[in-house]
Protein backbone atom coordinates (compact mmCIF):
# COMPACT_ATOMS: atom_id res chain seq x y z
CA UNK A 1 0.00 0.00 0.00
CA UNK A 2 1.30 3.47 -0.91
CA UNK A 3 0.54 6.36 1.39
CA UNK A 4 0.88 9.82 -0.12
CA UNK A 5 1.99 12.23 2.59
CA UNK A 6 2.28 15.18 0.25
CA UNK A 7 0.72 18.20 1.93
CA UNK A 8 -2.28 19.86 0.33
CA UNK A 9 -3.89 23.27 0.67
CA UNK A 10 -6.53 21.62 2.83
CA UNK A 11 -4.16 19.72 5.13
CA UNK A 12 -1.91 22.73 5.65
CA UNK A 13 -4.88 25.03 6.13
CA UNK A 14 -6.46 22.67 8.63
CA UNK A 15 -3.22 22.45 10.62
CA UNK A 16 -2.96 26.25 10.84
CA UNK A 17 -6.69 26.66 11.58
CA UNK A 18 -6.41 24.34 14.58
CA UNK A 19 -3.97 26.80 16.14
CA UNK A 20 -5.33 30.09 14.86
CA UNK A 21 -9.00 29.63 15.72
CA UNK A 22 -8.19 30.42 19.35
CA UNK A 23 -6.49 33.70 18.42
CA UNK A 24 -8.95 36.58 18.87
CA UNK A 25 -7.08 38.92 16.49
CA UNK A 26 -7.14 36.56 13.51
CA UNK A 27 -9.95 37.30 11.06
CA UNK A 28 -9.14 35.18 8.00
CA UNK A 29 -6.84 32.37 6.92
CA UNK A 30 -5.96 31.76 3.27
CA UNK A 31 -3.66 29.19 1.65
CA UNK A 32 -2.34 29.14 -1.90
CA UNK A 33 -0.12 26.63 -3.66
CA UNK A 34 2.53 27.67 -6.13
CA UNK A 35 5.55 26.06 -7.80
CA UNK A 36 7.69 26.60 -4.69
CA UNK A 37 5.21 25.20 -2.14
CA UNK A 38 2.51 27.03 -0.23
CA UNK A 39 1.76 30.56 0.90
CA UNK A 40 -0.19 30.90 4.14
CA UNK A 41 -1.85 34.30 4.54
CA UNK A 42 -3.22 35.36 7.91
CA UNK A 43 -5.37 38.50 7.97
CA UNK A 44 -5.71 40.09 11.38
CA UNK A 45 -7.30 43.00 13.16
CA UNK A 46 -4.89 45.86 13.84
CA UNK A 47 -2.28 44.37 16.15
CA UNK A 48 1.11 45.37 17.50
CA UNK A 49 4.38 43.82 16.24
CA UNK A 50 4.65 41.51 19.25
CA UNK A 51 1.29 39.91 18.38
CA UNK A 52 2.44 39.54 14.77
CA UNK A 53 5.57 37.67 15.89
CA UNK A 54 3.38 35.45 18.05
CA UNK A 55 1.35 34.46 14.97
CA UNK A 56 4.44 33.79 12.87
CA UNK A 57 5.65 31.42 15.59
CA UNK A 58 2.90 28.93 14.68
CA UNK A 59 4.99 27.95 11.66
CA UNK A 60 7.31 25.86 13.87
CA UNK A 61 4.76 23.35 15.21
CA UNK A 62 3.13 23.12 11.78
CA UNK A 63 6.50 22.33 10.20
CA UNK A 64 7.02 19.57 12.77
CA UNK A 65 3.54 18.19 12.08
CA UNK A 66 3.91 18.39 8.27
CA UNK A 67 7.66 18.06 7.66
CA UNK A 68 7.25 17.71 3.89
CA UNK A 69 5.37 21.01 3.58
CA UNK A 70 7.32 23.89 2.09
CA UNK A 71 5.51 27.07 3.03
CA UNK A 72 5.91 30.71 3.87
CA UNK A 73 3.67 32.65 6.21
CA UNK A 74 2.45 36.22 5.74
CA UNK A 75 0.60 38.13 8.45
CA UNK A 76 -1.41 40.97 6.92
CA UNK A 77 -2.05 43.58 9.55
CA UNK A 78 -4.46 46.38 8.54
CA UNK A 79 -2.40 48.88 10.56
CA UNK A 80 0.04 48.90 7.62
CA UNK A 81 -2.72 49.40 5.04
CA UNK A 82 -4.83 52.22 6.54
CA UNK A 83 -6.37 53.30 3.25
CA UNK A 84 -7.59 49.83 2.21
CA UNK A 85 -10.95 48.28 3.01
CA UNK A 86 -11.28 44.54 3.69
CA UNK A 87 -11.83 43.58 0.03
CA UNK A 88 -9.06 45.91 -1.13
CA UNK A 89 -6.69 44.44 1.43
CA UNK A 90 -7.44 40.91 0.24
CA UNK A 91 -6.82 41.93 -3.36
CA UNK A 92 -3.54 43.59 -2.40
CA UNK A 93 -2.05 40.83 -0.24
CA UNK A 94 -3.45 37.45 -1.27
CA UNK A 95 -1.63 35.39 -3.88
CA UNK A 96 -3.46 34.23 -6.95
CA UNK A 97 -5.57 31.15 -6.34
CA UNK A 98 -5.63 31.50 -2.55
CA UNK A 99 -8.40 29.52 -0.89
CA UNK A 100 -10.08 30.64 2.29
CA UNK A 101 -9.83 28.19 5.18
CA UNK A 102 -12.60 28.14 7.78
CA UNK A 103 -11.38 29.05 11.24
CA UNK A 104 -14.56 28.09 13.08
CA UNK A 105 -15.40 24.46 13.63
Task: Enumerate the domain spans of the chain.
Answer: 9-101
- Is the predicted pLDDT of residue 22 greater than 70, yes or no? yes
Mention every residue, 6+ apart, whose C-beta is less than 8 A from residue 5.
68
Task: Please say if the pLDDT value at position 46 is more than 60.
Answer: yes
In this prediction, residues 24-30 reach a mean pLDDT of 96
Task: Name the β-bridge partners of 26.
Answer: 44
SS3 track for 66-101: CCCCCEEEEEECHHHCCCCCHHHHHHHHCCCCCEEE
Q: Note the Cα 22 to chain centre separation in Å.
A: 14
Compute the distance between CA of residue 75 and CA of residue 78 in angstroms, rounded to an integer: 10
| Contacts of residue 45, Cβ cutoff 8 Å, sequence gap at least 6 | 25, 27, 78
Average pLDDT taken over every residue of the chain: 92
- CATH of segment(s) 9-101: 3.30.300
**Which helix (DSSP H) or strand (DSSP E) does residue 61 occupy?**
helix 59-65
- Residue 2: pLDDT above 50? no
User: pLDDT tens digits, residue range 71-90?
Assistant: 999 999 999 999 998 889 99
Residues 56 and 23 sit within 8 Å (Cβ to Cβ):
no
Confidence band, pLDDT 50/70/90 cuts, at residue 6: confident
Amino acid sequence: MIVDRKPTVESLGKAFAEHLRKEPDVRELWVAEDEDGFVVSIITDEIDPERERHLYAYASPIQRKLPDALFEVHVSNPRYYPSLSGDQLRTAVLPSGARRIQLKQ
